[in-house]
Structures are given as structure tokens and as C-alpha cells.
Amino acid sequence: MHMHFEVEGGNFSRAGYASSEIKKVLKKLNVNAQTIKRIVVSSYEAEVNIVAHARKGKISATIDNDKIVLQCNDEGPGIPDIEKAMQQGFSTASSEVREMGFGAGMGLPNIKNNADKLEINSEVGKGTNVKITIALSSETN
């Protein structure tokens, strides 16, 4: 099954909406609670990245019997040095964003820690595509 969400850049009051909707579906699918947590952390971080850095973006979730694939595509500044962006604590967020509790430079490393597979493609001045894959398993109890 597929889900699509439009994400608006700069709209922090709505950040988290897509992750929340994805979570509701995963609960109904009886996905293991720990797995749901990993997925929600990953999608939330990706969503906040779009809100904080890009003009706009899209998140799509494709769920099948054994995995979820999250595609997060945005139109934004792009990431000049992906390796550097993957380092914990590295952040280009503005001071305003940091004051709101975001932009601590934990986003991408956090996604990496929670995802089974993470692919990032970025073009400076155009935008960033993040593809997150996480395997699913049912609740055991």
C-alpha cells in the first residue's frame, strides 16, 4: 500500500504530520512496536529536515508484507557534502530553527541508526532525495 504527503517548507507547526499518519497505519498492521519506533524516528527526522531546509517536498511510504520504503524528496538547497552531513552534530540550521529545538545535527545520523538501508542523493541548488528502507515484522506477543 502507498501513502503520499506534501510537506511545506518552514511550516513547523505541521511537521510530524506524515510520520504520525504512517504510525497509525503501522499500528493497524500489527507491526512490532520497536520497528514502528524506528520507522517513526526515521520519517520524523526526514520530515523535519524538509521543513527546516527545503521550500517544499514530498514523502511517500510504500508498505508491503516485509518492508516499508520511505521516499523523501524535496526542492531545496541540496547537501554539498553528504559525508559531512552524516556526522553527528553537524548542522547548517539557522539559529531560529535551533531555538525551536530542531537542527541539533542529529537528523541524518539518527535516520542511519534506525534504518536498515539509507540512500541519499542530492544536487546542490535543486534538492535532496532520501530513501529509507526498514524491514517489517509482526508483533510477537
Partner 1 sequence: MKSNGFHHALTFCKETCVGCSHCMKVCPTQAIRVHNGKAELMPNRCIDCGECYRVCPVDAIKVEQDDFDFIFNYKYRVALVPGVLLGQLSEEINPRQIYSVLMELGFTHVCEAETGAEILKHAMENYVSKNPDIRPLISAFCPAIVRLIQVKFPSLVNHIIPMKPPLDIAGLYYQELLKKQGVNEDEIGLFYITPCAAKIAAIKSPVGEVKSVINGVINMDFAFNKVLTTIKQSKSPSCFVPSDSYLSPQAILWSLTTGESSNMPGRSLAIDGINNVIEFLEELENEEVSNIDFLELRSCDESCAGGILTSTNRFFTAERLRNRAKSANRKPDKTEVGMEIRDFNDYLVDHLKIEKIEPRSMLKLDENIKGALEKMKKVNELMEILPYVDCGICGSPTCQSLAEDIVREEAEVSRCIFIQRILEQKGTFTQQESIDVMKEIWGEKKLDKDLK
Q: Under the rule (CB under 8 A), what is the footprint of partner 1? A: 1, 16, 19-20, 23, 25, 27-31, 33-34, 36-37, 40-41, 44, 63-66, 101, 136-139, 141
Is residue 1 classed as helix, strand or coil in its secondary structure? coil
Of 9, 1, 43, nearest to 127 (Cα)? Answer: 9
Nearer to partner 1 by C-beta: 63 or 115? 63
The grid coordinates listed for 110 are: 539518527
Smallest gap, in angstroms, from Cβ of residue 72 to partner 1?
A: 16
Nearest CB to partner 1, comparing residues 45 and 127? 45
* Closest separation in Å from C-beta 126 to partner 1: 29
3-state class of 105 per DSSP? coil
CB 5, min distance to partner 1, A: 14
Q: How far is the CB of 11 from partner 1 (least distance, A)?
A: 15
Of 23 and 53, CB closest to partner 1: 23
CB 96 within 8 A of CB 84: no
Radius of gyration of the chain (CA): 14
Q: Which of 88, 96, 6, 106 is nearest to 49 (CA)?
A: 106
